């Protein structure tokens, strides 16, 4: 069974922000909300500059899910972490807990009052009828239900950002690293998916992390 994951290859990311644009366009996210962003480390230093595209990593042990006071999150069988905007109360706890800064809040009222949380859905929509108008308005496009993968990864020009079944992506990356000759240790999946301890396994029986 597929376990959906993202992987960003820091050796390849050229900080074109194409993934950010693709995400914004595909999901028509509101102003002020960035479901995905590119962060550049050692910006401008020759030989040391690395860029990373980051969004919701759909963690196996998701901190947002753990702290949500109304328990609005859920995980699909593909390991995608989604949330129900009808339940969300805009408290901001997921934003405190998330290591990646994925949860975003469109400002809904005066004094910085938060609206309903918005985050990357792995282009899997949310708890509305798949591919419906209401799902698109609330959560963006449901590409998984269209037999596609996230727009950001599929259109990445250097294929730095990979998204899809963890096993397939790992294979692609492994092949790449073999050709490159080195660098198996250079990417950081462990942060999101943890070492393979029993408690941190993805949910359904027979799943893979």
Partner 1 sequence: MLTRTHLAGWCFALMALVAPSAGFAQAAPGSAQQQAERAATQPGNNAPVWREVRSGQANYTTAQGREAGVLVQSSGDTWRQIRNGPITVYGGWLVVLVALAIAAFYLVRGPIKTHDRPTGNLIYRFSVVERWAHWTLAISFCLLAVTGLTILFGKHVLLPVIGYTLFAWLTLLGKNVHNFVGPIFMASIVVFFLIFVKDNWPSKGDLTWIASAGGLFTGKHVPSGRFNAGEKSWFWMGVVFLGIVSSVSGLVLLFPNFEQLRLTMQQAHVVHSVSGILFMTLSLGHIYVGTIGIEGSYQAMRTGYVDESWAKEHHELWYEDAKKQGANRPAAGGGAVPAGAAQARRDE
Partner 2 sequence: MRPRRMVVALLAAAAAVFGLAACGESEQVVVYTQGKYQGKPDTKPWDNAPLAYGGNDWTKGDKASWEKQINTRNLGQNEYRRIYNQ
191 binds partner 1 (CB under 8 A): yes
Task: Give me the least distance between CB of 80 and partner 2, in Å please.
Answer: 9
**Which of 60, 96, 79 is closest to 199 using CA atoms?**
60
Q: Which of 90, 106, 194, 207 binds partner 1 (CB under 8 A)?
A: 90
From CA 110, how far away is CA 149, in angstroms rounded? 37
16 binds partner 1 (CB under 8 A): no
Binding residues (CB under 8 A) for partner 2: these are: 1-2, 60-62, 65-66, 71-72, 74-78, 82, 84, 87, 124-131, 142, 144-149, 153-154, 156, 159, 162-165, 168-169, 171-172, 175-176, 179, 202-204
Which of residues 70 and 204 has its CB atom nearest to partner 1 in the complex? 70
Q: How much of the chain is helix, strand and coil, in % rounded to 5?
A: 30, 15, 55
Task: Give me the least distance between CB of 20 and partner 1, in Å please.
Answer: 7
Cβ contacts of 93 within 8 Å, gap of 6 or more: 64, 67, 68, 69
Q: Which residues of 45-83 are buried (b: 16+ CB within 10 A; e: fewer)?
A: eeeeebbbbbbbbbbbebebbeebeeebbebbebbbbbb
* Cα–Cα separations (whole angstroms), residue 200 to 27, 35, 49, 208: 30, 25, 33, 10
111 binds partner 1 (CB under 8 A): yes
Tokens of 178: 């073999």
22 binds partner 1 (CB under 8 A): no
Task: Give me the least distance between CB of 206 and partner 1, in Å please.
Answer: 26
Task: Give me the least distance between CB of 167 and partner 2, in Å please.
Answer: 9
Burial (CB count within 10 angstroms: exposed 0-12, middle 13-18, buried 19+), residue 9: buried
Task: Give me the least distance between CB of 126 and partner 1, in Å please.
Answer: 14
Footprint of partner 1 (CB under 8 A): 10-11, 17, 20, 32, 34, 37-43, 45-48, 50, 52, 54, 63, 66-72, 84, 86-93, 95-101, 104, 107, 111-114, 180-183, 185-186, 188, 191
């Amino acid at each position: 069974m597929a376990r959906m994951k993202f992987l960003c290859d820091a050796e390849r990311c050229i900080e074109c922000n194409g993934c950010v644009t693709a995400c914004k366009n595909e999901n028509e996210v509101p102003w002020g909300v960035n479901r995905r962003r590119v962060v550049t480390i050692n910006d401008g230093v020759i030989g040391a500059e690395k860029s990373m595209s980051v969004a919701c990593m759909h963690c196996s042990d998701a901190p947002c899910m753990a702290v949500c006071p109304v328990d609005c999150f859920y995980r699909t069988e593909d390991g995608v972490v989604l949330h129900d905007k009808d339940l969300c109360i805009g408290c901001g706890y997921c934003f405190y807990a998330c290591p990646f800064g994925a949860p975003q809040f469109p400002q809904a009222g005066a004094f910085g009052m938060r609206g309903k949380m918005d985050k990357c859905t792995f282009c899997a929509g949310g708890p509305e009828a798949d591919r419906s108008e209401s799902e698109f308005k609330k959560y963006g496009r449901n590409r998984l239900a269209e037999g596609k993968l996230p727009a950001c990864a599929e259109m990445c020009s250097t294929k730095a950002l990979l998204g899809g079944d963890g096993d397939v992506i790992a294979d692609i990356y492994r092949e790449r690293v073999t050709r490159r000759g080195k660098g198996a240790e250079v990417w950081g999946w462990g942060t999101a998916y943890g070492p393979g301890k029993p408690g941190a396994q993805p949910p359904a029986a027979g799943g893979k992390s």
